[in-house]
Structure 1
Amino acid sequence: MTSTTPTAGGILAAAGALQDPTRQTFTRAEVAYLMRLAYDSGRTATYLEDVAELHATWARHPIHRPTAEQRYEQRLTEMGGRDVAYRGGPVDWETGRPVRHLGAVA
């Protein structure tokens, strides 16, 4: 093992070496690899704990977040100073009204 970057095969080999009752000593490279695995495992656990705490906070304190359609409608209203309902699809840049294609449907 020349690299300490974890790979699937390296993780399996490390798990097998740790469970082998006849193996008492490890090389410097093997110790470095095991330390990297422990470090990465701790970072992953901390990250997941932080994400879980964030989601729990959002669940305890729900904040109304506007949908994309509501944000577009608000922007169109602010730009034109008029009440324009956005119903999706392309919008004319000059008028802010929906573009209607009157072509034949295939």
Structure 2
Amino acid sequence: MSHSTTPTAGGVLAAAAALQDPTRETYTREQVAYLMRLAYDSGRTATHLADVARIHCASVDSGWTRQTYEQRVAEEMAEMDHVARAVAAREGRTYRVHPGGPVDWETGQPVRHLEVAA
């Protein structure tokens, strides 16, 4: 992979091959950054495609076009909250609304004291 984190067709193929290599156990910072960029771009693409699909469907469902952006976001947030509550119930956990701010990657718990990474 190159030093850039901007995805290229060859870089995507190289990343896919590296991820499928059963002998590979560690990745360089550069490779992790590249893979994170691919995941980010993939998510952005999915979001844009969902938006395009909604616009396309607006011609069929005129009620959707009357919704404001804030109403659509509120609906999506309510749906995510519903799913989070269902997952917590299924796992036998108490559901708590996240207070905002940074979260520990491993535990999902809020980070109280931020330290500067070396």
TM-score by length of 2: 0.50
Q: How does 1:25-44 map to 2 (within 5 A)?
A: 25-44=26-45
What per-residue deviation string (whole Å, max 9, x for no partner) do you get for residues 20-57 of structure 1? 11101000000000000000000000000011011111
Cα distance in 1 for residues equivalent to 2:7 and 2:61: 37
Q: Can you give the 5+ residue segments of structure 2 that lack an aligned partner in the other structure?
A: 63-118
Cα distance in 2 for residues equivalent to 1:10 and 1:44: 17
Cα distance in 1 for residues equivalent to 2:42 and 2:59: 26
Following TM superposition, the consecutive aligned residue runs of length 4 or more in structure 1 with deviations greater than 2 angstroms are none
Count of matched residue positions in the alignment of Structure 1 and Structure 2: 61
Partner of 1:86: none
Secondary structure of the corresponding residue to residue 5 of structure 2: coil
Cα distance in 2 for residues equivalent to 1:50 and 1:14: 28
The residue type paired with residue 9 of structure 2 is: A
Q: How does 1:52-67 map to 2 (within 5 A)?
A: 52-61=53-62
Partner of 1:13: 14
Q: Which has the higher contact order (CA 8 A, sep 6+)?
A: 1
Cα distance in 1 for residues equivalent to 2:6 and 2:61: 39
TM-score by length of 1: 0.56
Secondary structure of the corresponding residue to residue 53 of structure 1: helix
CA RMSD in angstroms, aligned pairs only: 0.8
Cα distance in 2 for residues equivalent to 1:46 and 1:60: 20
Q: Can you give the 5+ residue segments of structure 1 that lack an aligned partner in the other structure?
A: 62-106
Partner of 2:108: none
The residue type paired with residue 37 of structure 1 is: L
